Structure 1
Amino acid sequence: MNINNQCIPLESIEIGMCVSYSQTITDYDVKAFAGLSGDHNPVHVDDIYASESRYKKRIAHGLIAGSFFSALFGTKLPGPGCVYASQSFNFKRAIYLGDTVTATATVTNVDIKNKKVFFDTVCKVKNKTVIDGQAALFIPGNK
């Protein structure tokens, strides 16, 4: 869809277009995110603490999976140059280390006048929704 790492022109974006990205969450991902974000909650980084939690083992930070939308928007649809206007998250289920998360963004509206595109966003693990929400992005203007 976005072969030359170019932003898809606003006029070419249609309702229903969608893109996906999948990644398996590793121990390294969780520890790197904890270091980057400063969120060292033991339910994410401490096996013993997490084993005594409601989840019974370590869980990934929800925003690791949420950040996959940034990858989709910045590289696939609409592509380089777009900028987040908003993103909402509803966290439905825990994501465990070793889970493969598939993030999908689907165009729900295109506002040509204001150069914005709106999306439904969802992350799934084993076909079950773990995160859903909506996003809006500003599309770069013509140079």
Structure 2
Amino acid sequence: MTDQIQRGTICIDQLELGMMRTLTKEITDRDIELFAEVSTDRNPVHLDEDFASTTLFKGRIAHGMLSAGLISAVIGEQLPGHGTIYLGQSLKFRAPVRPGDVVTAEVTVAAIDPVKRRVTLETRCRVGDTVVIEGEAQVLAPACKH
């Protein structure tokens, strides 16, 4: 173990209100199939086009938690990054994500409690200009030795 700051880590004393990081990913059929396998959520609205075409979505949609996982990736890899501990997350699913959609996850620092190392993050996923998920995360940010 070294005292070096890991790539992608922003320590509690380096965080600033309004800091934002993003991640963009195309959601593929393979992503949906793998998520169904790992999560065991095989709801046919995600996997069966014939079934999904009879729903209010009029076609297959990705699991909401698959897109929400991109928020987790931003938090764990970029803001605050390696060593961050998730304490909580609220999510509101605003619109469906379909196979082939390009999702951008955005995480913004909204509040910082440096004494407790607790950080509140605004979280959002978009497909183009459409907000598909929004919420708020509470995390314990890493304390790095300088």
Cα offset, 1:22, TM superposition: 0.6
Letter in 2 for 1:94: P
- Quick one: distance in 1 between partners of 2:35 and 2:50? 19
Task: Kindly report structure 1 stretches of 4+ aligned residues shifted beyond 4 Å.
Answer: none
For residues 15-94 of structure 1, the aligned pairs below 5 Å read 15-94=17-96
Q: Secondary structure at the match of 2:76?
A: helix
- Quick one: distance in 1 between partners of 2:144 and 2:21? 24
Letter in 1 for 2:75: F
- Quick one: distance in 2 between partners of 1:19 and 1:48? 38
- Report what 1:108 is aligned to: 110
- Quick one: distance in 2 between partners of 1:122 and 1:142? 27
Is 36-45 or 69-78 further displaced after alignment? 69-78
In structure 2, the gaps of 5 or more residues are none
Letter in 2 for 1:70: S
Equivalenced residues, count? 141
Change (3 A) 1:57 1:117: same
TM score, norm. by length of structure 2: 0.92
Change (3 A) 1:91 1:6: closer
Letter in 2 for 1:15: L
**Is the CA contact (8 Å cut-off) linking 2:90 and 2:137 kept in structure 1?**
yes
TM score, norm. by length of structure 1: 0.94
